[in-house]
Structure 1
């Protein structure tokens, strides 16, 4: 493209709105001299293709041609339209691609994760769209950091190598420059390119020629546009002779510099991409969108995209395992670091309201949609009809309204007595922050302010504390899928219409803020907080007492102190049982404390072992006080029990909740069997300084990783010798599958390995968590197949296929990545299901040649697959075997 054509096209692009542009601005945009641009503009004016204004400065614009074809929108145009902060970068990119005769070499600057690679790929698409490169023009990417510690190998990757150039160079091999001929070579982290490599590159940029490593007599040519990228200051990290040959430097702004509107657009696009990949609609709650808009995202667009992909993957896994009816993301399920974005409500509320419809519950992302679809809150025309229909439903079960009133009145009054009248000076606002989720406290602040304004009165602190504590238990009940029914709903509505109307609005505010759906019955409870606030408190009942008893000089008191410190109140009581103190003396101390406390609500005893477990029955009989005993104690149990007691829960509820932490209490037989099974997977920690160090790393991992201990286990191992460690790893692998190893040195095994430093600085923790999460997803496939296979038992097929795949991996000495593992398992399971119903065969093109090419693998799979054929009475053809081989070959390339 000639320079004058470049000037004309850019002028046409920049003056579409009818406004003209001066020669200086156009020249700066194109990166050309003003004199040349001015000369070209005047020539175009003399040809009648452009017009210019009178006066100074002279503004040029294109003469409109009504018969001219409509301009198409390029990929780069769309990027600029959706991301205003990239306008300058986009215009620079266009100039770099269109500059005659072959474009300008470019350096892209920006922080990690801003999208430098993506921007370079869009430049490549733009070059093809503008016919500057052919449709099949290559786009080759290379990260210089991958080979930074081996400059010779790095240069051979880029420039190619001549046979014998160095030890191991056993054949001539082309480099990436040759592969990129006619297209673009993108060098990421170019600052890691050694000085020798930079010099070779500026020679290539100057002359378009290069030599492979080791060549002296052959000079090669290639037409390649170089786009490089770095996170560093190019002045300090690159040779000046190199940077002088890069005329175009483009800076990509960080995510924090791009504004909320752009971030909103990125989030929408990423969800649309995931919808396309999953081939399914994705629903994202309004609060989840708010959190994604506002959370701290230090690794920029790359982290934002990865976080969204992870959220979608988890939601999709829940959908496949029938935990959810749709692929749906709610804020309650977000990781804490994303959820923290919701705490920026004051700072970002105006932006949220501008970008997000406050009457919406969910954003709906569909791969085919152009515009964003919102699911709005359904508002009933007559909300009282909802109440009446609820009462009618209960009456249809044979329970009359009058009987309901009499039956439930006492319980409902007790409910409010517990949550409103029992709030006292022991729980202040600072303490509440340790007990209640901050998101709940935020919405309580809002509804109290709103209610005071609407009711024209100041609510007491009892209402604030009461609603907060009540809401915490209500949400927990909903998450357990327990119904909330208020038989006095109609009575509250008719007797207290003003308070009830305010409560209805508060209900909507809670639903919107916390991404939950509350029944209308809950409005009746909220209304009662406003009504009863005018009454003087009745004599409150005392809360359930929490007493810890454990053997040792300070075991019990230490656990009580930790729980009380964390919860901000002196509540739990510890009674130590030193080994030299008789059980009777401990019991006498316990009796004295209970007599002095005069607590009628009862006590929960958390004890460790021995005679202490029998104290509950003795206290109940002698002092006539309700007692429950949990025959095992840890700090976690103490904290949860104390928290529940401070919130006003009754003795039975506290006992059930605390007992459920470790699974004691009544369990079915299947549950007991599960507890007796050994974990299937292991993470092994290896140390040379003794098993104590390995155990310390184990404890560290258990504190930072989330996993089901019935399935996963961290095993500490002390290193004696290299042969010893291999033997011990082999012994562990006979009982469990080892997921990864934590070790300060390399171990010659085909397993992911992380150093102690990577673990302790938390760099490896996220990777290990990802391995665990992926493996957990794979384990859920049995449940998925159970619902999706029609002709065979999904769980049995899953186990048989899993064993088949493991046998193939062992015999071929390969380890499949999780994506391929899931793929081959689903594929074989569906093949079996299909063949059981009918023997419809599929064809694999060039089957015989494919089998001859991979004869050894074919024999292994054909041999192992006979067990599946025999068990399910099916015949698996060679065509099917070839498709199965694909999975293992792709993994082994």
Structure 2
């Protein structure tokens, strides 16, 4: 039995057969009691109790000490459900008071029979208030209340209006034959006259082309509901006609002078815009019910999972096959859903299901796993990394793999139109595959063609969610048009005054920031600005532009802008400027002798061409001070902003680096025992591979020439041994054989059938490696452990990275010699930086990533563990987001009990985190550090499980 199950079983047993009076006396059970009775460390008990709380299996009674009770036992005694989102209570009396709050159903049976809203995911949770508003609007005598539904694109406004109509027929305010008329005002937004004609009708001759009288939608909707989608597209005169009709029940057709027509119509409007800024105030006053639909981001984790399951079930029914999806893929789909809401999630699910169907044509099960997701959807997983609490909730609710069978879930979600394709994508795939197989088209060409075909079909319907060309339209779904126009003006001013292009994120990031600021001003909310005066000291140009922008905001929007807002804008502008073209690390070679250094550099230039490299020869009669002054001068001349690598031979030259950095401010790193091979490798990594100074230094500090990397020989060379690749696995069977097949396929792709692939069990390395070295020319090793035989080694996890296959090909072809360090610090840095670039608005990932990685190295020392690459990337992204929260004074709040052991560890983390205060004047809050402690402990536990 798992520890958590053991603790829960103990709680159930202790509270079994207890009465309410018993609970009043005992209050609950403490962590110390559990620890003592079960013989488990108290801090481990506390950790498991926290998990049970998140699973809503227990509740917590505050006090000293804290007590715990089993939730369903209390609910049985009280004969009522406790609030699902409430986990903590001030006292046992507060818990028992819920037994006195049971509601009595009102007279009649409307609420007792199933309602159309019951099939709506979240009707009892995240949409409960909206459902109650809708029911009130329908039931209000005598004919209901006009309603406006507000929400982002894809949240389900049209479906919600349809459900209101179905509820109206069920509850009897409307007849069963009542009409439900739908009209999208955006369809005719460029022709107000034609739009009004559709809504109210027209008479013959009212305008050019009006050849006869025509009924309008208001007349067709008589006795029912007229749903006006995107109602903000109605012109002012149209809004006036609508609100006059709401007031009087009378209207005129276009071309008539008198309002002689009457109709009894309930108006439901829907808009993605802020009603206050997009609709006439006189119009809004006529609509008493305003229902705000939450975005997908605002929905609780449970609802998100239910929505995803429903969409997967839809695909399973369409293709008539079960769909199996792993937990990481589900998290990626949820995390990737942003501006498009449920509509975007639906398009993403259809895309991954279509790709899964393509790869499982001849199988009974469609499998979707994280590693095969498109890269833009994978990014959703990293987005969730910044939201540790939600990630934990999803992990608990999702478990591991999920299999959805046809004819599964049937809860209503949102309207079929406009997100439902008018074709069956799976039929298209199946038919085309059959046709191409009959024509003897290769599997590779079939896959390539169909992937393109899937994208074309889906993009036809979902381009507003995935096309870069529609970025402006996407932004207009989130911010108002006047905000976007203003932001475009600001962009021109920024680029002109700073003489630098802004990144593609500028329009969205600045628009959102300005929208938030103006809303805060309008609602008279006082901003909690953090003390960030120091940010302007090294950004005077950006600060001046920010001040100019603040003046523009004051003039355009007639509002006061505080001085600290200019400071925040300075940070924002700095982070949104495009990075200048990457410069190279410079290399300075210094060696004793009249021509030693210059000769090495001459050879390198002849081989690699001109690079950013210089040399200083040091005859033995020159003083060290003279050479130091000369090196400082040369470092200043060749530095291109990324620092200088000093390659020296011996003596006093080895200690000059720190002095040069201190006196010039230019970063330097020094490597001694310089050779021509070392200079070649340094220039190659600085110019061709564009590596940073720190990464070049780490990869070369133990470099001693190319001797360890034997050139590939061919079988035609009579004196050569046959080339081979070792695959290191646990047993040499099963996984080892699969790994061997993968490597052989890679070799076949590059026509290297002469290379042997030899599986080697890990427990046989010591016994067999000498024999294998004698018999074969070992090119490289791949697998779960480094055999340490002086050849490049690629860890198994790196093989499955995006460039894993490419690394093997490059090594085999002897074109790129890689260090045998399996930790891949460059890859970790690049992936972390790329992820942070998506999440951060104010901080520049390129500026903070090095300090974050140094901090993580300190955590490894504190824990006495080496983190794997996945853990490092997750930690880097989480810490970057924590730093930005600290800048915005919006740090996470840690509400879990902490034991003494955790406090001690937090203090150690806090000491290591001083690096951020020193480098950026940013301090991580204690609560953030507690979350980090939890994150690290969980990661170490997972690593241990994986290793064992």
Q: TM-score range by the shorter chain?
A: 0.3 to 0.5
Higher RCO (Cα < 8 Å, 6 or more apart)? 2
TM-score between the two structures when normalised by the length of structure 1: 0.37
TM-score between the two structures when normalised by the length of structure 2: 0.35
